[in-house]
Amino acid sequence: MHLINIKVHMLQQPTVARMQHTESKPAIAGFLQRRPRWAPPAPLFLLQPVLRRIVQKIAENNPDMFGRLGPHYRAVFVIDPVNLPFVMLLRPDPDDLMLVARRRSEISEHDARISGKFLDLLMLVDGDLDGDALFFSRNLTITGNTEAVVCLRNALDDIDDSIAEEVADMFGRPGRAALMALRRMNEKRETQ
């Protein structure tokens, strides 16, 4: 086989540094989105102070992780749990941290998007699932700046302690009970 004989097919779309929002079609499954259609949208403003506390706590406990982000610490990531009614915008800049919830119709400019089911994303962040395996099985989708995503993945994967437990501990006994329930749900899912 000579490479010169292989006619590679080129896409016409140009690569752009930052992506504009495109409407996604989240899968509707599981208890997490059992909200009836007639119900009002989730009140995201209640989530914002909680998310701010979470990202600040993780940054405080794991200051070494930022070194692995290289030049991408100012990148904006859309974390898209496809079975939840909202996404999260993350900017892992230690001097200007951001983790906020947004409706899918309100996503602003961003550098990369990471989409998957909520439990998969949780287990991934917690070092319990392999991101490449999730990608191979098509349960994880990456779009936008791939290098930024790889850096974020490696930064999170180098954290020894459980991020999920750090977050759960912030909310005391109810937080730990919620995490236990989520982990049981994941184990049940894996054995099915």
Partner 1 sequence: MIRPELVCPAGTPSAMRTAVDAGADAVYCGFQNATNARNFPGLNFTVPELERAVAHAHAGGTKVLLALNTFPPAGKVDLWKEAADTGARLGVDAFIVADIGVADYIARTHPDIRLHLSVQAAASTPESIQYYCREFNVKRVVLPRILTVPEIKLMADEIPCEIETFIFGNHGLMVEGRCSLTNYITGLSTNMDGVCSPAAQVEYIKDDEGNLSTRLGEYTIDCFSCNESAGYPTICKGRYLTPAHDGPYYAFEEPISLNLSTLLPDLMKAGVTALKIEGRQRSKAYVKSVVSAYRKAVDSIMAGQDPQISDLLALTEGQKETQGAFKSKTWR
Q: Note the residues at the interface with partner 1 (CB under 8 A).
A: 1, 3, 5-11, 13, 15, 25, 67-70, 72, 127-133, 135-138, 141-143, 146-147, 149-155, 157-160
Tokens 């979470």, located at residue: 54
Cα–Cα distance for residue pair 81/87, rounded to 1 Å = 6
Q: Given the complex with partner 1, which of 8 and 39 has the nearer CB atom?
A: 8
Q: Given the complex with partner 1, which of 48 and 146 has the nearer CB atom?
A: 146
From the list 52, 59, 60, the residue with the least C-alpha distance to 73 is 59
In the bound complex, what is the minimum distance in angstroms from residue 96's beta carbon to partner 1? Answer: 20
DSSP 96: S
In the bound complex, what is the minimum distance in angstroms from residue 83's beta carbon to partner 1? Answer: 15
In the bound complex, what is the minimum distance in angstroms from residue 153's beta carbon to partner 1? Answer: 7
Strand, coil or helix: 75: coil
C-beta of residue 85 within 8 angstroms of C-beta of residue 33: yes
Strand, coil or helix: 22: coil
In the bound complex, what is the minimum distance in angstroms from residue 192's beta carbon to partner 1? Answer: 14
